[in-house]
Chain A
């Protein structure tokens, strides 16, 4: 599969108004896509169109606007089910984002399967969002958090993972792609290994869903969660996919409007899936914007996009390697999206501050993955993360900026 042609890439970039601006008088080079991607016009327009023409509360009104908004909202649920190849659209629950999705699972699925003294298995590369909820679940139930450690390259040892599975954790929670290292975990294999012991698996897909095609039935994961804003969609909307056999059994998480069936002052019966998990007025505009983001990804072609990003990533790695004293944190054989590094004799935040003045936006710090920083014994890293619209020319300018910063700091 080939990446984008030059004209395809420039057409694609033209869809993103935020990319076409200067900061401190320099053209913006946006390499903080693992934090959030920029938004194409179609997403921005869809949100404003909703507020201009369709704004109404969904699932409640008999009036025209409410019906229009409800059917648009539910259509996105169906598109999302198709997008990740879910068996049913009621397996798609809208949330505020990955963090809320994981908290919902830890709380509700936790109540269903986790008993006092049980354990949860995670990896050493989890984002705090896929660590702290499980840590709290274990803590509140006198349980144990099991951690599959990382090797020097930033990969999980499958042998250790297997031996931890022998301790019979009740839940396995793993990231698909590490936000701090870029490592792609072999999740299909990891899920199959867990299933051999009947252990359900939660996959944090926040960093993968915008970079590769996801097929939840092929992966056979029990849960798959992601955020809209890291896949060209709006902030404040995310997805929880769960197999319906689990979602049916799970108790509701939050209580209120929409998620109920019959309410008396003494007793309440709850609505069916997916509404059981969507209490209160949802982020309708966000969901519609997410629908536009999916359309954008279909049009862009995820395979082509993946090839293009890999080209830019490898090119950047090769060029950065020439900076003296550079140390890459994370050298996994299978990687995507992210380059994390430190440079001898400099602090990541100093590099970040200086290249910001040259128009380059990167993230510095611990990337909400402090255990990863501890594992590699660094205070933090500089992280460049890529999206469909990044170019080789931007990679060149980024490397020049880093070199210039390092020269100033040494």
Chain B
């Protein structure tokens, strides 16, 4: 699936929830299923700044596609990371770099999450795009 298709899928999944508790319960469940980062990568080098909780993110390139793994000590944060991983993992660097992240607003997370967490979310997206940028440069060379 393309990034756009996955985003649409997530938006439609969230559209069935009419109250915030169900939405957050779903996020919490997603947090528990995040593709877990290898323990040896849970270092300061893999920490994302700008989050109130700690978030570690790792990326690897397999046959031209980027695969992300992550972890966080806060479960809601982990749910959000997992949403981003669903969208970006297994995509080629160019697609990740070009993608917008409007779906975050459409599922009502950007406006409903606290500003510190929102900033963390922005930092997560930034970090994922940075990985894509680096792998793209490596490929181009």
Contacts and interface: CB of A to CB of B under 8 A. Distances in A.
- Verify that A and B bind, or say they do not: yes
Given A408-B21, A408-B28, A409-B28, A350 B114 contact: no
A380 interface: yes
Given A357-B112, A364-B52, A365-B52, A350 B75 contact: yes
Among B28, B52, B117, which residue has the most Cβ atoms of chain A within 10 A? B52
Nearest to A352: B114
Contacts of A354: 24, 76
A380 to B, nearest CB: 7
Interface of B is mostly: helix
B15 interface: no
Interface in B46-86: 52-54, 73-77
Nearest to A365: B52
A353 B73 contact: no
Bin chain B's interface residue count. Answer: 10 to 19
B25 interface: yes
B21 to A, nearest CB: 7
Interface residues of A, number: 16
A129 interface: no
A288 B112 CA distance: 37
B2 interface: no
A357 B117 CA distance: 14
A408 B54 CA distance: 20
Nearest to A347: B74
A347 B77 CA distance: 10
Given A353-B113, A364-B52, A380-B52, A408 B24 contact: yes
B116 interface: yes
Interface of B: 20-21, 24-25, 28, 52-54, 73-77, 112-114, 116-117
17 contacts: A24-B20, A347-B53, A349-B52, A349-B77, A349-B117, A350-B74, A350-B75, A350-B76, A350-B77, A353-B24, A356-B114, A357-B112, A379-B53, A380-B52, A408-B24, A408-B25, A408-B28
Given A349-B77, A356-B114, A409-B28, 10 more contacts: A347-B73, A349-B117, A350-B53, A350-B75, A350-B76, A350-B77, A354-B24, A357-B24, A357-B112, A365-B116
